[in-house]
Chains A and B, each alone.
Chain A
Amino acid sequence: MSDYEGGPANDDDLSLPRATVYKLIAEMLPDDVACAKDTRDLLLDCCNEFIHLIASESNEICEKEAKKTIAAEHVLAALRELGFEKYVGEVEEAYGEHRQQQTKDRGRKSTKLNRLGLSEEELLRSQEFLFAQARMRFQNQAAQGAPDGGGGSGGGSA
């Protein structure tokens, strides 16, 4: 496989990564409790079903609003619709943290240029200046190379 992303070879075997889910199960149970292997695998299948269920219901709600892309509120409505209201509070909270995190990341990305302390006009001028310099250098090279029929670049092989 040329691009091995650690996932299944074909989409039919698509499920959540085993190791990740096994770890979650272990975290959710008391330290002295284990989960049988076939039970863990069963849980993996249940997760798939759950994802399909929520996605499908979200999609229906989305279509009813004549939208094409499933949005956050569609997912929240789907959870309520399917009897998973108890998840809604915590999911909403996580959503709030998620958006805060995104704003932080976006902020970080834009500071590099801001830190130079130059205005956009100044940046443009300095860019043009660098281009002009490069152009001059190129023209000088060309002028030097031309007279003897361009014998400058690389000698012939023996």
Chain B
Amino acid sequence: MVSIESAATPGTSSLPAARVRRIIKEDKDIFACGSDSLFLISRATEYFIDSLVRESYEFSRLDKRKTVQYKDMAKAVQSIEQYDFLTDIIPPTVSLKKNAN
């Protein structure tokens, strides 16, 4: 995995800390999140974006396209076990059988 050049200073995240914290706080079960943890979650999210984008692009390439489309991301989510948590927000737009060839 290519390392992400993040912002201007090393040890920072491109994602705004305050926003990430607000998203985390939506979960009422969470009492508190340290700022270090906040940073780690931000960075992990950046790596997540990187992975998902690249994996989606793989499907675009297989289809000989230069634009990553919704269905590419849908296929990426369906094909990778760690992305099971995303199945609810990506209803399968294409049946796997149809695209088996």
Interface residue ranges, A against B (CB under 8 Å): 5, 7, 11, 14-17, 20-21, 23-25, 27-29, 32-36, 38-39, 42-43, 45-56, 58-59, 68-72, 74-76, 79, 82-84, 86-87, 90-91, 94-102
Bitwise, B1-38 to A at CB < 8 A (1) or not (0) is: 10111100111101110111011101101111110110
Contacting residue for A59 out of B27, B43, B53, CB 8 A: B27
Q: Which residues of A contact B44 (CB under 8 A)?
A: 50, 54, 75, 79, 84, 87, 91
What bracket does the count of chain B residues touching chain A fall in? 35 or more
**With A51-B20, A55-B27 as given contacts, are A33 and B66 in contact (CB-CB < 8 Å)?**
yes
Q: For A102, give the chain B residue with the smallest CB separation.
A: B11
Interface residue ranges, B against A (CB under 8 Å): 1, 3-6, 9-12, 14-16, 18-20, 22-24, 26-27, 29-34, 36-37, 39-41, 43-50, 52-54, 56-57, 60, 66-70, 72-73, 77, 81-82, 85-86, 89-90
Q: Which residues of A contact B56 (CB under 8 A)?
A: 39
Q: A14-B19, A51-B24, A97-B10 are in contact. List 8 more A-B contacts (CB 8 A).
A: A7-B22, A14-B23, A24-B14, A43-B53, A50-B45, A69-B31, A69-B37, A84-B47
Q: Which residues of A contact B9 (CB under 8 A)?
A: 101
Q: Do A29 and B1 touch across chains, with their CB atoms under 8 A apart?
A: no
Measured CA separation A35–B63 after assembly (Å): 14
Contacting residue for A75 out of B15, B41, B68, B72, CB 8 A: B41
Q: Do A33 and B12 touch across chains, with their CB atoms under 8 A apart?
A: no
Q: Do A97 and B30 touch across chains, with their CB atoms under 8 A apart?
A: no
* Residue from A23, A24, A46 having most chain B Cβ neighbours under 10 A: A46
Q: Can you list 6 A-B pairs with a CB-CB distance of less than 8 A?
A: A15-B23, A16-B45, A20-B15, A24-B50, A50-B85, A53-B85
